[in-house]
Chain A
Amino acid sequence: MVSEEVKGIVRKEVLDKYRTRWIQLSAVTLLIFTLAISYFGGSPAGVVGFRKFEAVFVSLLTLVTYLIPLIALVLGSGAFPEEREKGTLPILLSSVATPEELWTGKVAGYALVLAGTVVAGYLPALALVFIKFGSWVLPSLLVFLLSSLLLGTSMLLLSMTASLLIRERTRVLALSLLLWIVIVILYDLSLLGLLVVTKGMVSKALFTFLLLLNPVDVFRMVNLLHVGELKAMLGFATVEIPPYVSPPVLWSILVAWIIVPGALGRLLLERRLAG
Chain B
Amino acid sequence: MLELVNVSKLYGSVEALKGVSLKVRRGEFVGILGPNGAGKSTLLRVMVGVEKPSSGKVLVDSKEPSREEWASFRKKVGFMPERVSFYDNLTGLETLLFFAKLKGFGIKEVERVLSFGLLTEEDLRRKVGEYSKGMKQRINVMQALLGPPEFLVMDEPTSGLDPEGVVRFFEIVEELKNNGTTVVMSTHVVGEVEERADRIVILKEGRVAAEGSPEEVYLSMPVRFVVKAKRSDLIEVLKKNGAASVTKKGDFLIAEVPPKRKMEFLKALLEHEDAVEDLIMRGPSLEEVVSDGK
**B81 & A91 in contact (Cβ 8 Å cutoff):** yes
Q: Is the CB of A97 within 8 A of B49?
A: no
Q: Is B13 an interface residue, CB under 8 A from the partner?
A: no
Q: Which of B72-121 contact A (CB under 8 A)?
A: 72-75, 77, 79-87, 89-90, 94, 98-99, 101-104
B48 proximal to A (CB < 8 A) = yes
Residues of the A chain whose Cβ atoms lie less than 8 Å from the Cβ of B58: 274
| A182 interface residue (CB < 8 Å to B) | no
B22 within 8 A of partner (CB)? no
A8-B101, A15-B94, A275-B70 known; A93 vs B50 contact (CB < 8 Å): yes
Residue from B51, B80, B86 in contact with A272 in the complex, judged by beta carbons closer than 8 Å: B51
Known contacts: A274-B49, A275-B65, A275-B71. The answer to whether A8 contacts B98 by CB under 8 A is yes
Q: Report the minimal beta-carbon distance from A250 to chain B, rounded to whole angstroms.
A: 38
Q: Known: A16-B90, A90-B45. Is A8-B52 also a contact (CB below 8 A)? A: no
A70-124 at interface with B (beta carbon < 8 Å): 85-88, 90-98
Q: How long is the Cα–Cα vector from A20 to B143 in the complex, in angstroms?
A: 23
Contact across chains for A274 and B87 when beta carbons are under 8 A apart? no
CB-based A-B contact count at 8 angstroms? 96
Q: How far is the CB of A78 from chain B (nearest CB, A)?
A: 12
State whether the Cβ of B66 lies closer than 8 Å to any Cβ in chain A: yes
State whether B84 touches A94 (Cβ < 8 A).
no
Query: Could you tell me if A86 and B70 are in contact, using CB atoms closer than 8 angstroms?
Result: no
Q: In the complex, which residues of chain B have a beta carbon less than 8 angstroms from the beta carbon of A199?
A: none
- Residues in B with CB closer than 8 Å to A8 are 98, 101-102
A111 to B101, CA, bound (A): 21
Q: Which of A17, A85, A90, A274 contacts B52 (CB 8 A)?
A: A274
B104 touches A5 (CB 8 A): yes
Contact B101 A7 (CB under 8 A): yes
Q: Are B75 and A273 in contact (CB under 8 A)?
A: no
Pick the contact of A96 from B53, B84, B94, B102 — CB < 8 Å? Answer: B102
Give the contacting residue for B85; candidates A20, A86, A90, A98; CB below 8 A: A86
Q: How far is the CB of B146 from chain A (nearest CB, A)?
A: 9
Please tell me if the beta carbons of B49 and A91 are within 8 angstroms of each other in the complex: no
Of the residues A86, A94, A98, contact of B86 by C-beta under 8 Å: A86
Residues of A within 8 A of B81 (CB): 87, 90-91
B interface residues (Cβ-Cβ under 8 A, vs A) = 45-46, 48-53, 58, 65-67, 69-75, 77, 79-87, 89-90, 94, 98-99, 101-104, 143
Q: Which residues of A contact B (CB under 8 A)?
A: 4-5, 7-9, 11-12, 15-17, 19-20, 85-88, 90-98, 271-275
What 10 pairs between A and B have smallest CB-CB spacing? A275-B70, A8-B101, A87-B84, A274-B49, A19-B89, A97-B71, A95-B102, A94-B79, A90-B81, A93-B50
